Structure 1
Amino acid sequence: MNLSPTGEQRALAEKLCALGATGLGAELEERDRTQRLQPGDWQRCADAGVFALAVPEEYGGLGLDPLSCALALEGLGRGCRDNGLLIAVGAHIWAMELPLLAFGTEEQKRHYLPALVDGRAVGAHAITEGEAGSDALSLTTRARREGDHYVLDGTKRFITNAPLADVFIVYATLNADLGFTGVTAFLVDRDLDGVTVETRFEKAGLRTAPWGEVTLTGCRVPATRRLGAEKQGSKILSTAMAWERSLILAPLLGTMQRQIDQCAQYARSRVQFGTNIGRFQAVSHRIVDMQVRLEAAKLLTYRAAWSLTEDDASSVFPEAAQLSTSESAVQTFLDALQVFGGLGYTTDTDVERNLRDALGTRISSGTSDMQRKVMADKLGITVKARRRTPEGTGGGRRGDAR
């Protein structure tokens, strides 16, 4: 496994870094207050090939491997100050394009992917409900087959990109008694009768990544728009989550590096007690710890990207990457607040907004607690212990040491 970037990977990362620094994030402070994504930025990302990264060339993409995608998005994050845009972009790529690539029919891929790649269409992944977040077994959206259609009824909440989306991947159960094994995925066009989208959430951070509530009322979806087979929703979701958890926070690595660089520059220039504050160990060691934390998160992200090529369902790297990057980001921006002091607490710098945005990454794609639970399950820690048979009932010889 070689994690050293090639010349081509570096060039693409630098190109997207430049795009982020000069072409994205206009009027960010105002849009953060009003919870607006800049539509022009979405198209600029499309024109630069951001949505094409992981899509094969036959559908209009670049066909890059996961590690190349991670490095490219890290570059984009280093240049782009709009963390909400970066999360919205990631949700579009990893939770819409990738499941479609993995499970879609040829007709579905040719119908949707070119528009998703070139910016004509926005995608959203709709699974979360009021009582079904991490507990997908509680999913209540229903689907019933009627001839050559499925009829969907239910409501999805906290759906990233919903207010802008043209197409949703919607999960619904064919039989509630089957739990998650009865869940099936559907490609639902926004303009279908029975689809209603509302924007009704005020968020603490990631405010430029629009959230919405999607309600399906007697929505008739053609059977040709079922994604994968019936009752394959669990596999589709696990595939989407592996990619999303591995790569959706790759831009945040770049954001953290930019913040660390700003802290180092400030520590060199800010003078207190007759010397620059970088000469105080309380400051310099804090910045060093920020960098160490970031390097660990980078390596886990790169390893998670590599693991996607191995098709290993037992890999813990996607969850480890999500957990490490999100929690490292929160601590890094808390540390940046300490370095900048009162200035960092104002809106004159990116520090307070970065901190608010980072808090949201600890609950997206599964909370930090859920990442730990999934990892514990994969490591076999949570396997139920075998019940001991009382002595003398045939479960073991009397006198055995147990």
Structure 2
Amino acid sequence: MSMRDSDTQTAPAPGPVRPPKAPAAAEKPSLIGLDREELAEALGAIGVPDRQIRMRVAQLWHWFYVRGVSDFADMTNVSKDLRALLAEHYTIARPEIVSEQISNDGTRKWLFRFPPRGAGRPVEIETVYIPEEGRGTLCVSSQVGCTLTCTFCHTGTQRLVRNLTAEEILSQVLIARDRLGDFPKGETPANAAVPSEGRLVTNIVMMGMGEPLYNFDNVKKALLIASDGDGLSLSKRRITLSTSGVVPMIERTGAEIGCMLAISLHAVRDELRDELVPINKKWNITELLDACRAYPGLNNARRITFEYVMLKGVNDSLADARELVRLLKGIPAKINLIPFNPWPGSAYECSDWEQIETFADVVNRAGYASPIRTPRGRDIFAACGQLKSESERMRAKERAALEAATPAAS
């Protein structure tokens, strides 16, 4: 892959690929994120004849998800009158890109702004692109904020504002492909860190802001569109959904979405996991692992990934490593060891590298593939557990400054 030689860069907000010509356009419903049946209903609602709808749905689907257009005017095999009718009633414009940051390791982070949609104000989320040799992984958000309050996670310090819609989840994929030149006739930015050949966005991981299984319907719809063979056509084996352990929804994820599964485990004892991942108080480790054993389609070729953040003196002992191996016995699995990524105000430190390697040796000797995930994008707060909207970061800084300036009560 090619890599940038420069240090962290912050690109000016580029705006949508083709911004609406008038503010009113933002109030129109979007056709992005509709399934085929809903798209057919939308066309029927504006007077497209029944005999044409199936053909028109196929045309629009191709333009949205194969060609990547964001303006009806670019649909050259659709009549001018129909393009005008579509533009009058609907939009396919991209949401606003507030900022684009590029790490010195090639990782990219975008800050996106979406309409209020009941939240009272526009909302912001972050999406991260991680380039590696042979693949490019897009870390996608499912919620604005999070309710889970995992103590090692920066995102968990931001209160939940609302769920993202299927359109907003898919838009993260579409904009990433726009910005990387990953659609036909698209141009990849000069010196960008991307796979050397093939697709530039090859994998999606639902590991961004929020808990995907608390927004199941919208996540399901978005991922089924992303994996549709006539559109974005991402293999379900290249789509991974990460959950902190919403046990009742795990079986449905396998049965209805069919993607790969990742579990944010991070502890091998309930008393510690209760602290690190508080959802464990509702569904404990035994219940979680029972749901994993029953995951539809689970086999040695479709293993569950268990994510384990390495916290110095907290969960990184050899006893922890041995217990982790014991817990996962009989589950086709691999373990990702994640060096803790620090953030302002965190109470944790990353385990020493030597200790991480010793921990990994125990896991590997037991037959689990256990890559140590080298931190990516730390310099732009794009690494695991570091995502948070910029407005929330600013508010947190303002609160901290106010508290520092206010005399303590006697």
The alignment's TM-score, normalised by the length of structure 2, stands at: 0.25
User: If each structure's helix is expressed as a fraction of its own residues, which one has the higher value?
Assistant: 1
